[in-house]
Amino acid sequence: MSDDETVQPVSLPIDPENPPEFPGKLPRELSRELCDRLQAIAEEISPYLGPEHRAIKALNDASHELMITVPFRPRYAEYTPEE
């Protein structure tokens, strides 16, 4: 999957007897928005906890996990795949 437009959430309500298959991907814009929200939380708690606190590390880890769920968009390092 390489196109953000193809990432759609599952339809609700979910039938527990027949659960749908989740896409396992986030649209890029949604992922970016969520990461920026996590950043805002981290910046808000930083003056209380200090920049090295594990809560800030956890928020940064969470944003990393969200970023790697976007459809891969290779932008550099052009090569020719071997046949």
Partner 1 sequence: MRRYLIGLSVATLAAVSVGISEAGPARAVNDCDFEFATSNPDVYKPQITGRGLAGCDTPPDSHQVQLALEYEQGGRWVVASVKTDNTIPPPFRAGGHRYEVSAACYSGTWRMAVAIRGTIQGHTFQFEDHSGTVDIPASVCHPRF
Q: Choose the stretch contacting partner 1; rule: CB under 8 A; options: 3-11, 14-22, 38-46.
A: 38-46
Q: Choose the stretch contacting partner 1; rule: CB under 8 A; options: 3-11, 13-21, 64-72.
A: 64-72
CB of 7 to partner 1, least distance (A): 14
Nearest to 66 by CA among 40, 21, 32: 32
> What's the distance, CA 70 to chain centroid?
6
Residue 26 burial (10 A CB sphere; 0-12, 13-18, 19+): buried
Q: Out of 8, 11, 18, 80, which residue is the one contacting partner 1 (CB under 8 A)? A: 80
Q: By CB under 8 A, is residue 48 in contact with partner 1?
A: no
